A and B are shown apart, each in its own frame.
Chain A
Amino acid sequence: MLMISTGNKAIAAAVRQAAPSVVAAYPITPQTEIIEQIAAYVAAGEVETEYIPVESEHSAMAACIGASATGVRTFTATSSHGLLYMHEMLHWAAGARLPIVMANVNRAVGPGWNTWAEHTDAFSQRDTGWLQVFVGTVQEAYDATLMAFRIAEDERVLLPVMVNLDGFTLSHIMQSLETVDLGDFIPPNRLPYAIDVENPMGYGPMTGPDDYFRFRWDIERSMRDAHEVIRETEEEFARRFGRKYGPAEEYRCEDAEVVVVSMGTLGKEAEVAVDILRKEGIKAGSMRLRWFRPFPDIDLRGREVVVIDRDYSFGFGGVVAASLKAKTGTECYNVIAGLGGQEVTYDDIAEFVRTRRIGEEMWFGVSE
């Protein structure tokens, strides 16, 4: 069905179709619309979900953990401070190998108090063991959420997945959305070690160094396997529903001499910037990273790279630029832009490319 939807409502629509048994959530701007919509679906009897309106995000994730451990499908959504308040439980969910799916509406972290887009909230959870995907459109928010359930629940993965969308610039904007007839795209959730009173076991008990270390390695092994599961899932999605995704969305990259690397909605702005630059004779391309964990294998050899980071690791550098450099050895022009919802247009991005100084870092509109 073709409709007009916000990013938030697209997520809720996908959740309704995936029909988790338990949704536990706490409201926070700009995520509220997701859980309001799910609450409305539940109230109207449009989905068989137990909706738990918890008293905090820490409890939201704890409730999802308790529910997921019994083998049922679970979902929650949050943003910014809510995500940070969950931090302890994010480690718990991944360590316990629970395939919880969560939407995180990317938002700045105070103080100062700011409800607009920034990726710092999600990146500060990067070592929790969660898979993280960043979407660029309303359609992709919907599609990625559906795929997230299948990826998380795959026996080769069994790790939680976070679907990230930019606060307001995607959560609240209206774009066209085509929903799918899901069919059996998401198989029933089968947790091999679900709580079973007939076969009592201890879950998450005290663990000595050797076993603990093996468990950590097991998470990493599943993260590596997740590359393949993600690829298979995205290919299957393309076969069934006609929309194709990959670890990164490349735009006019084939012959590009300079590539803009970014995440989230800025990646879509970068595509317009690339068209402008091409008209000026600059062979530009855009690469929007979709997956942050597991970090994609990308090839940027022989190109100049401009990385836009909507985040910062203080005392160090932009997180995406640093990750790219660590993974590929690529030097870049690192532009820090869009923090706290700062407006960044395609014209601005084109200018970043025109004035690039490879090997340097620039804070857009602030440091110069």
Chain B
Amino acid sequence: MSEIPKEEYLTTCTAACAGCSSSLSLRYVLKAAGPDTVLVVPACCTSVIQGMYPNTSFNVPVYNIAFAAAAACASGMSKAFRSAGKKTNVIVYAGDGGTVDIGIQALSGAFERGTDFLYICYDNEAYGNTGMQRSGATPLGAVTTTTPAGKTETKKDLDRIVAAHNPPYMATACSAYPLDLYKKVKKALSIEGPKFIHILAPCPPGWRYNSDKTIEVGKLAVKTGSWVLYEREYGKLTVSGPSRTALKKPHPIEEYIRAQGRFKKATPEIIAELQQSIEKNLARIKKEEEGIC
């Protein structure tokens, strides 16, 4: 951890919930990006975490924009900085709802155009800001306020959608592995063009676990293979260190599921389906890393 700068760009007094992993992630994202950075934030938890006018808990400029518009706003900003001869990092920090649902058109457009920016989706698998309604990123079986019996559809595979745009760099990360995240942000910002990082961000009130378990739950997601950490540089996939074990032999999904209240209505059939999808995904990633597909 010694290579991580001591400078803080996120103050200690934010409006985040206790145990909030997306603000923990943001802390490391900003440490990696440094002060010559502008954040673009659509409606999401981060737009609340920054606090009320006239205060801000961020030590970089943060531009709040409407829900559907983050990637497009960042496109304009990136081009404007280029026209002014500035190298400023433009980073979108958006939740899963603003990315996989309402914001996906703008995301796709910005990636297709080769916008020079970093889009980060911190994924707490629901609309956390408005009180945990289901999003396209909510996993099968999870209880949310709009899926009280458990979600009947599977999680939208955002990473394969983004990968189809062939960005020069994309990666997955998890708030439980901040050094891995830090390195990925550093690498992403060293590359010209559109970059994407998808962070799994466990959410204590939404996932219904005690706020001191945030790191533990994140690690369980990785150990069970529910969330796989990897990078894809110019199309070449490399699985990251923390996910190596899961790639060989994942812990049973039950360990991850039992740690959270949101899966309390998940039937054995749903748990089996989740386990199957993990195995299918791991097999696909293994093949891709070996260059078989």
B179 CB within 8 Å of chain A: no
User: Is the pair A211, B76 in contact by a Cβ cutoff of 8 Å?
Assistant: no
Which B residues touch A203, using CB under 8 A? Answer: 61-64
In the assembly, what is the distance between CA of A325 and CA of B266, in Å? 63
Nearest chain-A residue to B88 (Cβ)?
Answer: A197
Contact of B66 among A53, A70, A88, A201 (CB under 8 A): A88
Given contacts A70-B81, A205-B52, A211-B54, contact A65 B65 (CB under 8 A): yes
Annotate B21-43 by CB proximity to A: 1 below 8 A, 0 otherwise: 00000000000000111101000
Q: Interface-forming stretch among B107-115, B205-213, B229-237? A: B107-115
Known: A56-B105, A200-B60. A67 touches B79 (CB 8 A): yes
**Complex Cα distance A100/B64, Å?**
17
Contact A207 B77 (CB under 8 A): no
> Contact at B105–A66, with CB atoms within 8 Å?
no
Assembly CA distance A298 to B230 (angstroms): 67
Query: Which single member of A69, A195, A204, A205 contacts B51 (CB below 8 Å)?
Result: A205
Q: A67-B80, A206-B53, A211-B53 are known contacts. Are A201 and B72 too (CB-CB below 8 A)? A: no
- B77 and A69 contacting across the interface, CB-CB below 8 Å: yes
Asked if B61 contacts A195 (CB within 8 A), the reply is yes
Q: Does A265 count as interface, using CB distance less than 8 angstroms? A: no
Bits for B53-77, please: 1 = Cβ < 8 Å to A, else 0: 1111011111111101101111111
Chain B contacts with A in 74-90, Cβ cutoff 8 A: 74-84, 88
| Residue among B50, B65, B68, B105 with the highest chain A CB neighbour number at 10 A | B65
User: Which of A169-197 touch B at CB < 8 Å?
Assistant: 195-197
B66 in contact with A89 (CB, 8 Å): yes
With an 8 Å Cβ cutoff, the count of chain B residues facing the other chain is: 46
Q: Does A335 count as interface, using CB distance less than 8 angstroms?
A: no
| Residue B120 at the chain A interface, CB threshold 8 Å | no
> What's the minimum C-beta distance from A5 to chain B, rounded to whole angstroms?
27
| Chain B residues near A65 (CB-CB < 8 A) | 65, 69, 73, 76
Asked if B47 is at the interface of the complex by the 8 Å CB criterion, the answer is yes
* Residue-wise interface mask of A (114-158) relative to B, using a CB-CB cutoff of 8 A (1 in contact, 0 not): 000000000000000000000000000000000000000000000
**Interface flag for A48 (CB, 8 Å):** yes
Residues 106-147 of chain B: 1 if any A CB is under 8 Å from the residue's CB, otherwise 0? 101100110000000000000000000000000000000000
The answer, among A49, A53, A55, A66, for a CB contact under 8 Å with B63, is: A66
A302 within 8 A of B: no
Closest to B109 in A: A55
> Is A330 engaged at the interface, CB distance under 8 Å to the other chain?
no
Interface residues of A in 61-90 (CB under 8 A from B): 62-72, 74, 88-89
Which A residue sits closest to B115, measured CB to CB? A52
Q: Tell me if A62 and B62 are in contact (CB < 8 A).
A: no
Q: How far is the CB of B15 from chain A (nearest CB, A)?
A: 9
Contact A22/B109 with A70-B84, A197-B60, A206-B48 known, Cβ cut-off 8 Å? no
Q: How far is the CB of B86 from chain A (nearest CB, A)?
A: 8
Contacts of A211 in B (CB 8 A): 53-54
Closest to B48 in A: A206
Question: Assuming A205-B47, A211-B53, is B112 touching A55 (CB within 8 A)?
Answer: yes
Given contacts A58-B69, A63-B72, A65-B73, contact A197 B48 (CB under 8 A): no
Q: Which residues of B contact A88 (CB under 8 A)?
A: 66, 68-69
Complex Cα gap A208–B60 (Å):
22
Instruction: Say yes or no: B80 contacts A197, CB within 8 Å.
Output: no
CB within 8 A of A92: which of B60, B65, B81?
B65
> B71 — which chain A residues lie within 8 A by C-beta?
59
A24 within 8 A of B: yes
Question: Which residues of the other chain, B, contact A201 by a CB distance below 8 angstroms?
Answer: 56, 61
User: Please, what's the 1-or-0 string for A297-315, where 1 marks a CB less than 8 Å from any CB in chain B?
Assistant: 0000000000000000000
- Neighbouring A residues of B75 by C-beta, 8 Å: 24, 52, 54, 59, 62-63, 66
Indicate if A202 sits at the interface (CB-CB under 8 A).
Answer: yes
Whether, in the assembled complex, A21 has its beta carbon less than 8 Å from a beta carbon of chain B, the answer is: yes
Indicate if A225 sits at the interface (CB-CB under 8 A).
Answer: no
Which of B50, B80, B106 contacts A70 (CB under 8 A)? B80
Chain A residues with CB under 8 Å of B48's CB are 206
Contact: A63 with B76, CB < 8 Å? yes
A50 interfacial by beta-carbon distance below 8 Å:
yes
A197 in contact with B38 (CB, 8 Å): yes
Q: CA A209 – CA B109 in complex, angstroms?
A: 35
Bound: A197/B86 CA distance, A: 11
Q: Determine the residue in chain A with the shortest Cβ distance to B81.
A: A70
Cβ–Cβ < 8 Å partners of A67 in chain B: 76-77, 79-80
Q: Apart from A88-B66, A197-B88, what 4 extra A-B contacts exist at CB < 8 Å?
A: A48-B83, A63-B73, A66-B77, A201-B61
Binding site for A on B (CB under 8 A): 35-38, 40, 47-48, 50-56, 58-66, 68-69, 71-84, 88, 105-106, 108-109, 112-113
18 A–B contact pairs at CB < 8 A? A52-B75, A52-B79, A54-B109, A55-B108, A59-B72, A59-B105, A63-B73, A66-B40, A66-B72, A67-B76, A67-B77, A68-B80, A74-B80, A195-B38, A195-B61, A200-B59, A206-B53, A211-B53
Q: Which 6 A-B pairs have the closest CB atoms?
A: A55-B109, A63-B76, A66-B76, A59-B72, A202-B56, A62-B69
